[in-house]
Amino acid sequence: MLRISRACLVAFAALTPLLISPAEAQTAPAATATLKEVRAEGLKSLPEPQIATLAGLQPGASAGREDLQAAADKLLQTGLFTKVKYNFQTRTDGLLVTFHVEEAPRIPAYFDNLPWFGDVELNEAIRKKLPFYDGTLPNAGAVVDQAADAIGEFLVTHGLQAAIEHQALANPNGEGDIQQFHIEGASLRIFSLEFSDPSLNSSPLVQQQLSELKGKPYSRIAIDLFLVEQVRPIFQKQGFLRAKLGPPEVRLTGNPNQKLPEQIPVYVPVTPGPVYHWKGAQWTGNSVLSSITLTGDLALAPGAVADGMALEAGLERIREEYAHRGFLDAKVDPAASYDDQAHTVAYAAHIEEGIPYKLGAMVITGLSTAAEKRLRDQWPIPAGELFDKTLYEDFLSKLQTKPAQVFRDLPVHYDEVGHWLQPDQSKGTVDVLLDFK
């Protein structure tokens, strides 16, 4: 837990405030005053009146130094803040407390295996307990526990008893994390998965891949991962770059008050959207590779259908081209710009090339002295020369699939080659570690 930075503690008195040292604070009498007002500075999304509630402070009640420190501790324990400081002033009409805070990042709430209710109902259940809730929560902390309690209480009101677990996980639908709420040990399983798009229901490839889900425990994360990994590429390749898949729904007929069957059908709404065509790319930050080279690596002609998978492959070729020249830290950050009237897409891509690395040390374990010498003799990158990652990966492939080309008649036996790169940016070198097992 982060340590709270204490503001200067001031003795409660009607006279001029007195600065108290930590040692004196332990033995000074616990004076109190009537709490008149609670303020907050540094808020970005939370409403100021919520601070007093979160801190457990009640205007009109008596408060002392220990109460204020406990309130600051409580704010930090919510998980909503990374830093909490406070100071106070005594006035003739009571005590004014000001908290100085930095809000913590928040991530979207995600309801994994609660198919009885929609997101709107579950979000509203949380909002009744946490009025400031906007669909996002911190990674951890008391408010996340309270949100889980709110869901559990909501389920109880509908005749369901279940312990709600929560954890921060990678977002299956994109970048960043989610705060997943999950019923541990739920017995619901996926009976079928149907799409609103008939082409997916008749696709042999999609139907074959559905074996990954059918009969498995119901989980929106598992379904969303399936949509991202197996279904989205189908649309991306055809230029449907903004196709909307899901969220998955459970559609049942009959008495809604009856217990759900253990085998449940899942329906996935699909909105393909328009087909986009490629307009081109603008490059910034590049000096090692020209804009002409970068555009060529994308290998997509202006006016062509914007094949999203081809664009991803082109960006990967650019990263590989930099690594081929020793620029192991090169980053390519494309920002897509959509013209929804012309149905075109363009990239404004910024590149951080970093520095070129040279080969440093090589550490080899698991080989005999003779075999290690043979490997070093065959190694394709001289020490002190630019580290060509393409040559490095080609040599690794040879070690795995054609070891005789490296060791010739030496009796070398191994099942796998562990391999690691250790770049040292300060020296501009990269060490290679190979472990034969």
Residue 260 pLDDT: 61
Q: How high is the pLDDT of residue 12?
A: 36
Do 282 and 351 form a contact (C-beta atoms < 8 A)?
no
Portions of the chain given CATH number 3.10.20.310? 9-103, 277-352, 358-436
DSSP letter string, 50-98: HHHHHHT--TTSEEEHHHHHHHHHHHHHTSSEEEEEEEEEEETTEEEEE
pLDDT-wise least confident of 20-24, 380-384, 408-412: 20-24
Query: Rounded to an integer, what distance in angstroms lies between the CA atom of residue 84 and that of residue 68?
Result: 11
Cis peptide before 172 (omega within 30 of 0): no
Burial 237-259 (b: 16+ CB within 10 A, else e): ebbbbbbebbbbebeeeeeeeee
pLDDT score of 115: 87
Q: What is the pLDDT of residues 44-87, one digit of tens each?
A: 999 999 999 999 999 999 998 899 999 999 999 999 999 999 99
Write the CATH number of the domain with boundaries 9-103. 3.10.20.310
Query: Structure pTM?
Result: 0.78
**277-352, CATH topology level:** Ubiquitin-like (UB roll) (3.10.20)
What is the average pLDDT score of the chain?
89
Local confidence band at 263 (pLDDT 50, 70, 90 cut-offs): confident
Which pair of structure tokens corresponds to residue 86? 């406070």
Coil, strand, or helix at residue 265?
strand
- Asked if pLDDT for residue 427 goes beyond 90, the answer is yes
Q: pLDDT, tens digit, for every residue of 135-151?
A: 999 999 999 999 999 99
Domain boundaries 358-436, corresponding CATH code: 3.10.20.310
What pLDDT, on the 0 to 100 scale, is given for residue 93?
84
Distance between CA atoms of 212 and 234, rounded to whole angstroms? 17
The pair of three-digit structure tokens given for residue 224, joined into one six-digit string: 């969303």
Contact 374, 408 (CB under 8 A): yes
Which amino acid, 155?
L
